[in-house]
Structure 1
């Protein structure tokens, strides 16, 4: 098997900023370093972590790798690159203990500073530590790489994690006691507004100058994959706008005006947890600059005359994913998501009136379509 290609974090991203690594990558690196010492007597100051796609890896510095009475432990300082969030600079630690049977599946435990899930609606069951599925898979893979199996009990903690978590949505999500261990790619892409929007403006102008039938805006991977794989949109017509919805639309409107090239269609594709925030007037959808979108979904449901109990449940849901689950079996569930898409499309079109039509396609986290509409 070809070994993963190492991604060099010292090389800047296309927007000139420095990438970082997620809390999931940090925990995986700490686990791998602890296992290398425990099983091989190999004391490392940095380790290679295989990223979720299996094709790339990261070299992550580790600290304080040590044996314990029941196994081993290690620390990693989380580096968010030039896009620091609340966990940038936090020290994550991992303790690992072999299970009695190596064939047992890996078990995960919340140490001090890592939260526990207390309410439904996110991708981790109630009662489990707030370690998301992708980081769990990364740690299982790291264990197999070192030990050939995953029969270990893994405890993940974070120094001052409970205080850090108060700066995040975790208390609102019912995640108590600390931070979450997150990440879907293992890498933090630098998304600061000034630098990122400079690159987005270039991408938008290139797209408009090519005189396409449509340009696609997407916050992230879901919409990008839909545009590439389902719609067969050429890469130069896809703009990944991250959280900067309003600024990306402003750049598009400016490009259309400056170039004089009409754009027949703007397609905006992504998860409603991001896109529906514009219905609350939040045009930068980063959690530090916006609220959550469940109330917007509930307002659409109320306008469609769904029963009061369902509307209230939507408004009080912990996440938009919980709203997706609530509406999955409802007779008017599809109508709600179509209504959300229609209102989002109208809001976006209002900010970029030079575009002929704006179409919005909403997707669940598993890639399944929720609803489409245009304005």
Structure 2
């Protein structure tokens, strides 16, 4: 049985609680209680160290524990520095060293909605009326760890993100995690005919900000094939595949487990669709030799600008249609429902979380969901 742990925002919140407790009582805490909010659960988080830095400032340290998840942040130190303030909002949250910056949001710290809510709600409960604090989250190893992630593909540089929609961290590539995803799908299929599949946290976060009911969102990680089959078994009418183009375009090549250790094929898929769209041989080679899918997309955008063409639209429209077609074929190959089998549409976004393309079916589904 796999052991679940907690996401980075939970440990950041625990450190902040311990630092604020020190400011109020000048006493260190060895364990703090954190309300996860999502799910509605109180958990106990051990504190490594607490110290007063001045009369108005304290620092506390925890270490990340993502459970059995093969997460590169396992056991990484997470600091929170809390300081009393006289003016402004009750709780101001800042990103210190090791917290990434969002290039598409004026270098704002990459501390996203769930982490903000977690910190705000837990810390406000500890403040008396009129009290105000500044909380600075620091990941001493964040900058070095970030180079081993895909953060830069999503416009986050110089550190890690405090990202997620829940406080629970579970392994994403084990059969036990697939069982957890299937259980969530089964629960939501009882309430909705149309659902949205998101591979990761970026998709979940963006879909919610676009107005899609979070209760319709289902995380799949890399298990898209088994989850599509499960949706059909559960008589789900429609699935919107909503994801980062560098992951989702693999489906256009018939790859339905998207972990890069099992299969990649992104540059081959992109180059093939460029050839079908009529690009010149030199441009096809440039796309094929791009280091990442994001670099290939940038090349096509630059080609649009220099030639006045519409290559991004032509190539990605074809890819989105291929994703729908291959997904439909995959479902049909495992289904006994015939024409009643689950229908798929797709929406792809880029590293700046901007929509690149909606398939024809994706447009229809998006209209129903928002």
Distance 1:276 1:150 in 2: 50
1:133 aligned residue (96, 113, 129): 113
User: Greater helix share, 1 or 2?
Assistant: 2
Number of residue pairs aligned between Structure 1 and Structure 2: 326
Quick one: structure 1 residues 295 and 51, their matched pair in 2 at CA, closer, same or farther if it must change by over 3 Å? Answer: farther
Q: Deviations over 1:166-212 (max 9, x none)?
A: 2211344453333222222122133333323456678999999x9xx
Scaled by the length of structure 2, the TM-score of the pair is 0.64
Distance 1:319 1:45 in 2: 49
Distance 1:195 1:88 in 2: 19
Quick one: structure 1 residues 91 and 252, their matched pair in 2 at CA, closer, same or farther if it must change by over 3 Å? Answer: same
Distance 1:89 1:81 in 2: 10
Q: Deviations over 1:111-164 (max 9, x none)?
A: 2xx1442x634xx532x3332233123222232111246733322222432332
Distance 1:292 1:155 in 2: 41
Quick one: structure 1 residues 348 and 165, their matched pair in 2 at CA, closer, same or farther if it must change by over 3 Å? Answer: same
Q: 2:334 matched to 1:351? A: no
1:63 aligned residue (33, 38, 48): 48
Partner SS, residue 221 of structure 2: coil
Distance 1:106 1:319 in 2: 37
Q: 2:77 matched to 1:91? A: yes
Partner SS, residue 82 of structure 2: strand
Quick one: structure 1 residues 42 and 205, their matched pair in 2 at CA, closer, same or farther if it must change by over 3 Å? Answer: closer
Q: 2:251 matched to 1:278? A: yes
The gaps in structure 1 that reach 5 residues or longer are: 1-15, 257-262, 324-330
Quick one: structure 1 residues 171 and 18, their matched pair in 2 at CA, closer, same or farther if it must change by over 3 Å? Answer: same
Alignment of 1:48-197 (within 5 A): 48-53=33-38, 55-69=40-54, 70-101=56-87, 103=89, 106-111=92-97, 114-117=98-101, 120-121=103-104, 124-126=105-107, 128-148=108-128, 151-197=132-178
- Say if 1:79 and 1:89, in contact at 8 Å, map to a contact too: yes
Distance 2:297 2:312 in 1: 16
**Superposed CA RMSD:** 5.2
Distance 1:105 1:163 in 2: 29
Distance 2:218 2:152 in 1: 33
Distance 2:18 2:360 in 1: 49
- Say if 1:241 and 1:248, in contact at 8 Å, map to a contact too: yes
Q: Deviations over 1:34-89 (max 9, x none)?
A: 10111133432222222344843332222102211251111111111122311122
Q: Which moved more, 1:182-191 or 1:49-58?
A: 49-58
- Say if 2:90 and 2:124, in contact at 8 Å, map to a contact too: no
Alignment of 1:301-312 (within 5 A): none
Give 1:47's aligned residue: 32
Scaled by the length of structure 1, the TM-score of the pair is 0.64
- Say if 1:102 and 1:150, in contact at 8 Å, map to a contact too: no
Q: Deviations over 1:211-264 (max 9, x none)?
A: xx9796734768999xxx98x99xxxx9763321134457789x79xxxxxx79
1:342 aligned residue (306, 321, 332): 321
Give 1:23's aligned residue: 8
